C-alpha cells in the first residue's frame, strides 16, 4: 500500500494532526518564541529544528526498512522522539516563564504519535522554507 495523506487522516490510531492544525500550532509556536526576550532563545529554537529533522529522517526511512533494520533502529528512533518532546517542553517552559502565550503546547497535547507527526510537519515547514 502506498501511503497518502488521506490514509493518514483515517489512521486507526486516531489523534490525527491535520495539516491545518499543524500549521496553526506551528504559527503560534513561532510567534511565541519571537515574543520571548531570552537572549539565547534561538539556540533552543534551532535545537528543536535539528531534533525534528533527525526524527523525521528516521521516520521517513521506516517505510523502506526491513524488519531487522527496524529492530536495530527502534531505540534510536525512540531516543530521537524523546529529544523532540524535550525540546518542545523547554520552549514551552521558556514561554511560560516569560509569560508569553504558549497555548500551542496544550493544543499539541501529550500523545507521542501526535507529537511525532508534529515533528514531521516542522521538518516539512523548515524544508520548504529554505529554498
Average predicted confidence (pLDDT) for the chain? 94
pLDDT of residue 131: 83
The answer to whether 51 and 119 have CB atoms below 8 angstroms apart is yes
Length of the chain: 131
Task: Please state, in angstroms and rounded to a whole number, the distance separating the CA atoms of residues 95 and 103.
Answer: 10
User: Quick count: other Cβ atoms within 10 Å of Cβ 10?
Assistant: 9
Is the pLDDT score of 1 beyond 80? Answer: no
Provide the whole-model pTM.
0.93
Residue corresponding to grid cell 523548515: 126
pLDDT tens for 3-34 read 889 989 998 888 899 999 999 999 999 999 99
Domain ranges in the chain are 42-131
pLDDT tens for 54-85 read 999 999 998 899 999 999 999 999 999 999 99
Amino acid at each position: 500500500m502506498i501511503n497518502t495523506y488521506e490514509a493518514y487522516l483515517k489512521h486507526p490510531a486516531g489523534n490525527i494532526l491535520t495539516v491545518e492544525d499543524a500549521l496553526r500550532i506551528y504559527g503560534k509556536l513561532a510567534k511565541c518564541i519571537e515574543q520571548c526576550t531570552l537572549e539565547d532563545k534561538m539556540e533552543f529554537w534551532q535545537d528543536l529544528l535539528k531534533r525534528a529533522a533527525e526524527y523525521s529522517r528516521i521516520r521517513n526511512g521506516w517505510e523502506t526498512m526491513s524488519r531487522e533494520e527496524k529492530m536495530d533502529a527502534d531505540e534510536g528512533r525512540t531516543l530521537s522522539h524523546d529529544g523532540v518532546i524535550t525540546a518542545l517542553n523547554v520552549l514551552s517552559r521558556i514561554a511560560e516563564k516569560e509569560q508569553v502565550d504558549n497555548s500551542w503546547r496544550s493544543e499539541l497535547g501529550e500523545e507521542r504519535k501526535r507529537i511525532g507527526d508534529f515533528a514531521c510537519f516542522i521538518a516539512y515547514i523548515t524544508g520548504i522554507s529554505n529554498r
